[in-house]
DNA sequence: CTGTTAGCGCCTTCAT
DNA sequence: ATGAAGGCGCTAACAG
């Protein structure tokens, strides 16, 4: 030991990993199609949870991204090179091709903020459908009848979008309200599309906007204000996530709080449990949400 | 090859790394003391640049964090285990202990948004001092004479804080203005400290606030608005970074745009150059900034 | 308790 | 062209 210190010796992790057959490393996999998921503000909080918990448990974190990887095979292949003991799939697309490959090879993995029908696949998520439904019920209780739903292009390939939209639609159905398809907007150019929504005759114009996530909601609020509409007097705005910017915007954004950091922490715990074979794969963990009411919400005029 | 495909064979990266003596992996090192750097909104954009460029160049990314690692030695040791060919130190503290260790072991590294006196250490950064100085000159030109400077506790250990503060002070000196030390605030409890700043008699009260970064500036703007002050009529607010929230806030935040993504990309390029011994260590790269004027700025009343 | 050795999976060299 | 073998740095099993 003294000699090791004197010679400034540090063991080589490659050689250790080779013989020990595990690496104490957790892989983080981003399967974004168009817009990098890790660019969203909620992502940092989930990452924070992952890193904190991983560090606590003496695990390193290897990041894989599928950025512009035209060759899907090469991409998948690198997941199977045994450099990490297991993988966390961060907000995976519904149609991602990593899941079948990982299953086939028996590599432990967990979906972070993703869903799967397969009972053998572990997921850590919130009840997007239920929480979005409760939020819309709250809007309806306040008197809103025309509620726009805004999401980005491509987001329909993710379970969080599918499920929140389903909750929005179900809430309408449960109250016997029709869901005007003209109020569901896939956003390309926010400024223009907001202008055109608000340019509708008063009888068709939305009195509230539900942004798929807080980023969308905050951008929408900004666009409305630049167009001269007041929030919440003229139109209410709500989102989902409760990112830090939701509390500091003016007015504050009404939203559904997700325990983002805890989602990340929980993923690491579940994954390490699977790696250690302490828990069986197929955990379906649903973390609680909370409605956070702030100034962006008021009854319609 | 056919057999390999048929048997679903994938090479083991550990064994490859062992014999090839390199791993095609770039390490990302977070040396935060108190507040995780990777929790800041500007970080995601730098990370985005790192990941995009790394993926482009067929590199994986390994994240090391120093979260609550009481045992500094173990922490440093894991940097030297040859799992990555080189390291990017993300917004390192001025007094971090990784730099000497890496130097001694001859492991290539680059400081991302950090500075070092040592001519042999590569850095990628903006001219924080110059840009902050130019911003403050602009405020003075508009007529502001009492400009508060707000930063978080602990941030004085980072070069970005030291340099922006130096620019703020130098701009005052260059215009023959005194720099009221009472207007430099280390923020513990923003709401209270903003209230107490604005509670000063009108002759001492700031007419503008410079937040060390956009996060601080936006939070300050929110606090001011909640206290009933109007931005920019009663007080102007400016920041640094130009994170996405700076454009969508109401009013828009005046700020210094940093090419955050490009900083990340550039770091990867410099680091890989050093690893390949194509460029010598000691690159001091300064990327350009740009003053972005938005609604949060007006002449004092 | 200390010392030796086989082999983790792969690549490179050298021999056929 | 194909094949055999040595060794990358380490650990674990076993021998002394």
Q: Is the pLDDT of residue A170 over 60?
A: yes
pLDDT digits (tens, 9 = 90+) for A9-25: 889 999 999 999 999 99
Under 8 Å CB-to-CB from B89, ≥6 apart: which residues?
A: B29, B31, B96, B98, B99, B109, B110, B111, B112, B114
Q: Is B61 on the interface with A (CB under 8 A)?
A: yes
Å between CA of A18 and C1' of C6: 14
Share of chain B above pLDDT 90, in %: 78
Of A15, A38, A81, the CB nearest to B51: A38
Q: What is the mean pLDDT of chain B?
A: 92
Q: Could you tell me which of B106, B92, B81 has the C-alpha nearest to residue B29?
A: B92
Q: Which of residues 11-40 of B touch strand D (CB under 7 A)?
A: 15, 18-19, 21
From A8, A18, A222, residue closest to B15, measured CB to CB: A18
Can you count the helices (H) and strands (E) in chain B?
11, 12
Q: B14, A18: Cβ pair inside 8 Å?
A: yes
In this complex, the residue of B8, B43, B247 whose CB is nearest that of residue A44 is B43
Residue A68 is predicted with a pLDDT of 45
DSSP-assigned states of every residue in chain A: -HHHHHTT----HHHHHHHHS--SEEEEEE--SSS-GGGSHHHHHHHHHHHHHHHHTT-EEEEEE-TT---HHHHHHHHTSSSSSEEEEES-BTT-SHHHHHHHHT--EEEET---S-TTSEEEEE-HHHHHHHHHHHHHHHT---EEEEEETTGGGBHHHHHHHHHHHHHHHHTT----GGGEEEESSHHHHHHHHHTS-TTTS-SEEEESSHHHHHHHHHHHHHTT--TTTT-EEE-SB--HHHHHSSSPPBEEEP-HHHHHHHHHHHHHHHHTTSS-S--EEEE--EEE--TT-----
pLDDT at B69 over 50: no
Q: Which segment of A41-50, A180-189, B234-243 scores lowest on mean pLDDT?
A: A41-50
d(CA A252, CA A256): 13
Answer whether B67 sits within 8 Å of A60, measured CB to CB. Answer: no
Residue A237 in contact with partner chain B when CB distance is under 8 A? no
Q: Which of A140-154, A166-180, B10-24, B26-40 has the lowest mean pLDDT?
A: B26-40
- Residue B48 sits at the vertex; the CA angle it makes with B45 and B49, to the nearest 5 degrees, is 95
Q: Which residues of A touch B104 (CB under 8 A)?
A: 8
pLDDT at A248: 82
pLDDT of residue B55: 87
Residue-wise pLDDT for A203-260, tens only, equals 999 999 999 999 999 999 999 999 999 999 999 999 999 998 899 888 999 999 999 9
For residue A25, the cross-strand partners are A60
Does the distance separating the beta carbons of B80 and A10 come in below 8 Å? yes
Which residues from B are below 8 Å from A221, CB to CB? 248, 250
Distance A16 CA to D10 C1' (A): 5
> How far is the C-alpha of B86 from the C-alpha of B98, rounded, in Å?
13
Tell me the pLDDT tens digit for each residue of B199-225. Answer: 999 999 999 999 999 999 999 999 999
Evaluate the omega torsion of the peptide bond into residue B89 and state whether it is cis, within 30 degrees of 0.
Answer: no
- Report the residue of chain B nearest A216, measured CA to CA: B248
Taking CA atoms, what residue in B is nearest to A76?
Answer: B10
Quote the pLDDT of residue B120: 96
- On whether any CB of chain A is under 8 Å from the CB of B191, the answer is no
Q: Quick check: A10 and B36 CB within 8 A?
A: no
Find the Å distance, CA of residue B197 to C1' of nucleotide D6.
74
Query: B98-105 and B72-79 helices cross at what angle (nearest 10)?
Result: 40
Residues 9-68 of A with CB under 7 A from strand D: 9-12, 15-16, 18-20
Q: How far apart are CA A276 and CA B15, in angstroms?
A: 23
Give the pLDDT score at A69: 43
Mean pLDDT, to the nearest integer, of A248-277?
96
Q: Which residues touch strand C (CB under 7 A)?
A: A 15, 18-19, 21; B 9-12, 15-16, 18-20
- Check residue A284 and give its pLDDT: 98
A119: number of Cβ within 10 Å:
8
Give the Cα separation of B249 and B222 in Å (integer): 10
| pLDDT computed for residue B67 by the predictor | 56
Chain A, chain B: beta-carbon pairs less than 8 Å apart: 151
**In a mutagenesis test of the A interface, which of B60, B73, B221 is the best target, namely the one with the most A β-carbons within 10 Å?**
B60
Tokens representing residue A83 in the block: 């450099």
Structure tokens at B128: 């924080």
Residue A55 has pLDDT above 90, yes or no: no
Contact of A47 with chain B, judged by CB distance below 8 Å, is answered with yes
DSSP-derived secondary structure letter, B155:
G
pLDDT tier for residue B68 given thresholds of 50, 70 and 90: very low
Given pLDDT bands bounded at 50, 70 and 90, which one contains residue B44?
Answer: confident
Q: Which among A154, A115, A162 has a CA at the least distance from the CA of A36?
A: A154
Contact B36 A23 (CB under 8 A): no
Protein-proximal positions, strand D, CB < 7 A: 7-12
**Contact status, residue A207 vs residue A236, Cβ threshold 8 Å:** yes
In chain B, which residues have their Cβ closer than 8 Å to the Cβ of A25? Answer: 62
Residue count (chain A): 301
- Is residue A299's pLDDT more than 50? yes
Per-residue pLDDT, A72: 58
Nucleotides of C under 7 A from a protein CB: 7-12
Q: Give me the pLDDT at residue B33, please.
A: 58
Tell me: pLDDT of B17 over 60: yes
How many whole angstroms separate alpha carbon A41 and alpha carbon A88?
19
Please compute the mean of the pLDDT values over residues A133-156 and round it to a whole number: 97
In this prediction, residue B32 has a pLDDT band, given cuts at 50, 70 and 90, of low
């Amino acid at each position: 030991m003294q000699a090791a210190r004197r010679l400034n010796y540090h063991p080589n992790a490659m050689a250790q990993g080779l013989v020990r057959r595990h690496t104490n490393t957790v892989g983080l996999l981003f399967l974004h199609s168009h817009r990098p998921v890790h660019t969203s503000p909620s992502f940092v909080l989930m990452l924070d949870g992952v890193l904190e918990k991983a560090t606590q448990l003496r695990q390193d974190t290897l990041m894989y991204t599928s950025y512009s990887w035209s060759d899907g095979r090469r991409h998948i292949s690198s997941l199977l090179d045994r450099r990490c003991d297991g993988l966390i799939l961060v907000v995976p697309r519904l149609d991602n091709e990593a899941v079948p490959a990982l299953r086939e090879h028996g590599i432990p993995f967990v979906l972070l903020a993703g869903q799967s029908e397969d009972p053998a696949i572990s997921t850590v998520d919130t009840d997007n459908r239920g929480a979005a439904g409760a939020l819309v019920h709250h809007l309806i209780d306040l008197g809103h009848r025309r509620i726009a739903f805004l999401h980005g292009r491509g987001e329909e390939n993710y379970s969080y979008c599918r499920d929140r939209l389903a909750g929005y639609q179900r809430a309408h159905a449960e109250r016997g309200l029709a869901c005007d398809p003209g109020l569901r907007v896939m956003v390309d150019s926010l400024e223009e599309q907001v202008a055109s929504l608000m340019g509708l005759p008063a009888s068709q114009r939305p009195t509230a906007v539900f942004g798929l996530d807080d980023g969308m909601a905050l951008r929408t609020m900004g666009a409305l204000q630049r167009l001269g509409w007041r929030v919440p007097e003229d139109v209410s705005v709500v989102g989902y996530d409760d990112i830090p910017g939701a509390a500091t915007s003016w007015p504050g954004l009404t939203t559904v709080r997700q325990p983002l950091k805890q989602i990340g922490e929980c993923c690491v715990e579940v994954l390490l449990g699977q790696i250690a074979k302490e828990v069986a794969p197929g955990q379906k963990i649903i973390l609680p949400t909370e409605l956070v009411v702030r100034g962006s919400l008021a009854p319609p005029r």
